[in-house]
Amino acid sequence: MRVKFIVVAVVAIIALSYLSSEFNTLNPVNGLWSAAGNANYTSGNYHISGLQYPVNVSIDSSGVAHIKARNLHDLFMAQGYYEASNRLFQMELEAMLASGNLSSYVGTAALNSDIAMHTIGIPQNAAILNSYVRTYYPQYYGYIQDYAAGVNAYINASAANLPLGFKLIGKKPFQWTPLDSFAWQEYMTWDLTTGGTSQLQTDLLYSAVGYANLSQIWPYYPYYTSNITMVPGNGTVNGLNLSDYGISSNYLWSLNWYSQFATGLNTTMFSSLGNLMKNALSNISDPYGFSTRNTLRPVVGSNSWIVTSNYSSLNSPILANDPHLTLLAPSLWIPVQLEAPGINVTGWGLAGLPGVLIGHTATTSWGLTTPEGATANDYLEMLDGNNYTYNGQEHVMSEYNYSLLGTRHTIFYTNNGPIIARTGNFGISMNWTASTPSPDLVAEIELDMSTNYSQMLNALRLWESPPQNFALAGIHNTGYITAGLYPTINETLPDGQKVAVIGSRSLLNGSNPDYRISGRVPFRYLPQIENPARGFAFAPNQPTVGKDYPYPFIGGYWASGGRAQTIYHYLKSHQGTTVQDMMDLQGNVSDYWASQFVPVILKSLSSMTMNTSQAEAYNILSQWNYTAYVNSTGETVYWYYLSELYNMTFDSVYADHGLSSLTKPFDTSALYLALNDPSSTTWFNGSFNKTSQSAFAREVLFLLQKLGPVNTWEWGRVHQLEIASLTGLSSLGLGPYPMYGDSHTVSAAYVSRQLQVPEPYVTVGPSLREISNPARSIFYGVFPGGPSENPVSYYFSNQLATWFDHGYYNMSAQTTEVRFVYD
């Protein structure tokens, strides 16, 4: 009997012990639960080997860390340690993603992502950039190394109690190097790059609907944007415009920029290249789903504006910025103040990169938006085996080899760039400016050290990729510059005149030297404006310059300008702008395009015989004030009307040609067509009014089925925000929350227009909000998250509620909550 007991006990112990290996990570002492114990900051001393002097760190009541060191070496090392102690898992996951090595962490699920990263060239460019900065900017490279040393000091200190993420995936952190910071910089550059995908999309549409129809839905400059360029006026910059080259802008913009003179290719080829172009699009889209360059996402952007001393109630410049990025938990940003001799900067840095990217010093402030001019151009290559043809001769393609999960992969390069897709003897290569080293981190640290407007401007001479609209404000001066490398192509126009243009509308002939990148826009003639005479300027991704700009943006894939219109009209009517005005404008949820479109819709429906529900929906729409609050029913009626209209028009044409995944035309294209071509057979089946009435009837029926009575159709029921975790695990994210705003409101909450209830979650929006007036030391900010990546920490999302409410933290007047010393 006892022997039986012993046998049973032994078997049970072995079985349970075997089973327990699966559960050891749930042990209460140093398993996953330790994250519950690490949820709060603890005052005290933390030893960091390599520091020259003690560094004081205080966390204020808004969760912002203030790091004070006695020299720059210690400062950046402390920043690395602090950021790693809050964001190590995020940083390493991002570095793995950007390096095309995520599959070594998570297996085959990330294989396509890794291949895409190498195809785009992100890890290769990061390696080039690393060598470049080490060679040409050794002092700054030293700061980046100090940051890495700080990260590694934390990794070593936390070996016995790793952050939650590592425990969840059962991996240990790798040692951080400057290359990891550069890889993440390159990833973010790709995320903010315009072109590359755009030319392929327009070519596919060209072959599907032809030039005339394509021009209607994707004009070179979006409709209704002539009054709202970033640089006011016709496009003259520092005295130079197109007429100085003897070229008429009317003539230039009347040309078909898809045609052979512009590309070296016969447009009839596009239809036979459809699959090749689709493959190229697929190969360079981010299968991990994070990048905003995903073609399935709505066109997204950012906001910024400035008011001059003369226009401001404070008699000194005020600046506002809210960059729109994928909203993640934890945020891509981490707020921090860095103080040491020669530097005192406060703002938001990208976790994994030293310094502050958006913020202010005591006397300067700056913000960023994306200008949407092409810096990635696609070329059609004639291939024969491993050779490509250029200028009538064959050349051998260079190779880049790498291995993933034990399998070797090869990327081939022509003189234009990596081959991103190939079918038989045709290939598409991508020329992306990021293959030229861009010492953005050097520029960023110089901005962090700036004390006046001209120092900021000088720092931006080093900024290359991606070009950004930098809003700048000093004590007296304010303005904009679109800093960065804009590659130019020397085009010969049909009338024989020559002009250097930025980007293309289409694939270019890679074999013909005439279409190679041959220059760049000089710094002096980049779009820029200082102290605009009208008192304000703004750059929410609308066209930066007018049509007379001396370097025409043929590859200008601008945003529709709805936010720009709201900002323009608001600032125009707010002379003597106050800080509160700036805040109100950042919180504005009026849809400008709705205000233009709804009267047209109502008119088209006026002759319709309506049932009770339709009449009720019509009344709601007619009384709507165009604001998209969560309780707005007007916004819901409007949005789903447009979704149905799109479904019956653009979506259906796209679908007929197998192009459903391409970016849909702007609302303004629909508005323009309704007003100017209402009997279009391509888009409206001969009658806008009839199409409009059908769309409205179908919308009402659809929403009655999905949402019930008309008066319950509140926007917040269908429009929801999810702040996702980079891991893709919904439990580690935040939301969904009912969300105000839409794709065209200043307080933006982008949504991909789909006929579903609820709409796909909003995932892109204001990733931070900044308002500053350096002359009076007024600095406000907020972001939708907190500094910590620990999901049970108060500091995981401590600023989220304030962000939701369009509130702010006074960044120079917070009380200290916790202090620690790094020594």
Partner 1 sequence: MTKTAAVLSIIASAAVSYATLFFLPLAYLAVVAAIPLMYLKGWKSFVAGLVIGTASASSLYLIYPIQKVAQLSAIIGGIVSLSPVLVLTVFPLVYGLIFAFASLLWSEIRENAVHRRGKNGVESQN
**3-state class (DSSP) for residue 409:** strand
Both structure tokens of 683: 């888009």
Site for partner 1 in 500-529 (CB under 8 A): none
Q: Does the footprint of partner 1 cover residue 6 (CB under 8 A)?
A: yes
Cα–Cα distances in angstroms (integers) from residue 587 to residues 36, 273, 329, 358, 627, in the given order: 35, 45, 22, 19, 11
Of 792, 806, 807, 817, the one binding partner 1 by CB under 8 A: 792
Q: Least distance (Å) from partner 1 to the CB of residue 792?
A: 5
Q: Least distance (Å) from partner 1 to the CB of residue 728?
A: 11
Q: Least distance (Å) from partner 1 to the CB of residue 13?
A: 5
Q: Which is nearer to partner 1, 245 or 794 (CB)?
A: 794
Q: How far apart are CA 354 and CA 345, in angstroms?
A: 12
Q: Does the footprint of partner 1 cover residue 159 (CB under 8 A)?
A: no
Q: Which is nearer to partner 1, 24 or 393 (CB)?
A: 24
Of 168, 314, 630, 821, the one binding partner 1 by CB under 8 A: 168
Of the candidates 266, 131, 299, the residue with the CA atom closest to the CA atom of residue 664: 299
Q: How far apart are CA 173 and CA 159, in angstroms?
A: 9
Q: Which is nearer to partner 1, 17 or 393 (CB)?
A: 17
Using CB atoms within 10 A of its CB, is residue 408 exposed (0-12), middle (13-18) or buried (19+)? exposed
Q: How far apart are CA 721 and CA 519, in angstroms?
A: 43
Q: Which is nearer to partner 1, 33 or 523 (CB)?
A: 33
Site string for partner 1, 745-784 (x = CB under 8 A): ----------------------------------------
Give the count of residues interacting with partner 1 (CB under 8 A). Answer: 35
Q: Least distance (Å) from partner 1 to the CB of residue 22?
A: 9
Measured in residues, the chain has a length of 823
Both structure tokens of 144: 């980046």
**3-state class (DSSP) for residue 682:** helix
Of 37, 341, 342, 519, the one binding partner 1 by CB under 8 A: 37
Of 2, 160, 393, 573, the one binding partner 1 by CB under 8 A: 2
Q: Which is nearer to partner 1, 652 or 730 (CB)?
A: 730
Site for partner 1 in 10-29 (CB under 8 A): 10, 12-13, 16-17, 19-20, 23-24, 26-29
Q: Least distance (Å) from partner 1 to the CB of residue 17?
A: 4
Q: Which is nearer to partner 1, 13 or 675 (CB)?
A: 13
Cα–Cα distances in angstroms (integers) from residue 714 to residues 128, 195, 285, 623, 746, in the given order: 52, 37, 34, 15, 20
Q: Least distance (Å) from partner 1 to the CB of residue 725?
A: 10
Q: Which is nearer to partner 1, 377 or 720 (CB)?
A: 720
Q: Which is nearer to partner 1, 593 or 796 (CB)?
A: 796
Q: Which is nearer to partner 1, 28 or 342 (CB)?
A: 28
Q: How far apart are CA 166 and CA 150, in angstroms?
A: 19
- Report the DSSP beta bridge partners of residue 502: 488, 553
Q: Which is nearer to partner 1, 407 or 731 (CB)?
A: 731
Site for partner 1 in 727-746 (CB under 8 A): 729-732
Q: Least distance (Å) from partner 1 to the CB of residue 11?
A: 9
Q: Which is nearer to partner 1, 136 or 794 (CB)?
A: 794
Q: Least distance (Å) from partner 1 to the CB of residue 8?
A: 8
- The string of DSSP codes covering 739-767 is ----TTSSS-------SSSSPSPB-EEES
Whether the Cβ atoms of residue 104 and residue 96 lie closer than 8 Å to each other: yes
Whether the Cβ atoms of residue 242 and residue 549 lie closer than 8 Å to each other: yes
Backbone Cα Rg of the chain? 27
The C-alpha angle 772, 778, 784, rounded to 5 degrees, equals 60
Local structure of residue 42 (DSSP, 8 states): -
Q: Least distance (Å) from partner 1 to the CB of residue 32?
A: 6
Both structure tokens of 2: 């006892």
Q: How far apart are CA 604 and CA 695, in angstroms?
A: 11
Helix (H) or strand (E) holding 67: strand 65-68
Q: Least distance (Å) from partner 1 to the CB of residue 405?
A: 24
Stretch near partner 1 under the rule CB under 8 A, chosen from 9-17, 254-262, 385-393, 705-713: 9-17
Both structure tokens of 620: 């709601």
Of 791, 795, 797, 799, the one binding partner 1 by CB under 8 A: 791
Q: Which is nearer to partner 1, 19 or 212 (CB)?
A: 19
Of the candidates 63, 41, 66, 64, the residue with the CA atom closest to the CA atom of residue 55: 66
Using CB atoms within 10 A of its CB, is residue 52 exposed (0-12), middle (13-18) or buried (19+)? exposed
Q: Least distance (Å) from partner 1 to the CB of residue 789?
A: 13
Q: Least distance (Å) from partner 1 to the CB of residue 785?
A: 16
Of the candidates 369, 582, 566, the residue with the CA atom closest to the CA atom of residue 480: 369
Q: Least distance (Å) from partner 1 to the CB of residue 34?
A: 8
Q: Does the footprint of partner 1 cover residue 42 (CB under 8 A)?
A: no
Both structure tokens of 422: 């190939």
Q: How far apart are CA 51 and CA 154, in angstroms?
A: 13
Q: How far apart are CA 567 and CA 539, in angstroms?
A: 9
Q: Which is nearer to partner 1, 40 or 135 (CB)?
A: 40
Cα–Cα distances in angstroms (integers) from residue 217 to residues 278, 649, 654, 659, 671, in the given order: 20, 11, 12, 15, 10
Q: Least distance (Å) from partner 1 to the CB of residue 783?
A: 22
In this structure, the strands spanning 44-46 and 816-822 are parallel
Whether the Cβ atoms of residue 176 and residue 151 lie closer than 8 Å to each other: yes
Local structure of residue 239 (DSSP, 8 states): T
Q: Least distance (Å) from partner 1 to the CB of residue 761?
A: 17
Q: Which is nearer to partner 1, 30 or 234 (CB)?
A: 30
Q: Which is nearer to partner 1, 39 or 630 (CB)?
A: 39
Of 39, 127, 157, 296, the one binding partner 1 by CB under 8 A: 39
Q: How many helices (H) and strands (E) does the chain have?
A: 27, 32
Q: Least distance (Å) from partner 1 to the CB of residue 719?
A: 24
Q: Least distance (Å) from partner 1 to the CB of residue 800?
A: 15
Q: Which is nearer to partner 1, 22 or 408 (CB)?
A: 22
Q: Which is nearer to partner 1, 9 or 405 (CB)?
A: 9
* Phi, psi dihedral angles at 121 (to 5 degrees): 105, 15
Q: Least distance (Å) from partner 1 to the CB of residue 86?
A: 17
Place of tokens 């390159």: 186
- Report the DSSP beta bridge partners of residue 41: none
- The string of DSSP codes covering 426-491 is EEEEEEEGGGS---HHHHHHHHHT--SHHHHHHHGGG--SS-EEEEEE-SS-EEEEEES--EEEEE
Q: Which is nearer to partner 1, 37 or 519 (CB)?
A: 37
Contact residues toward partner 1 (CB under 8 A) are 2-3, 5-6, 8-10, 12-13, 16-17, 19-20, 23-24, 26-37, 39, 168, 729-732, 791-792
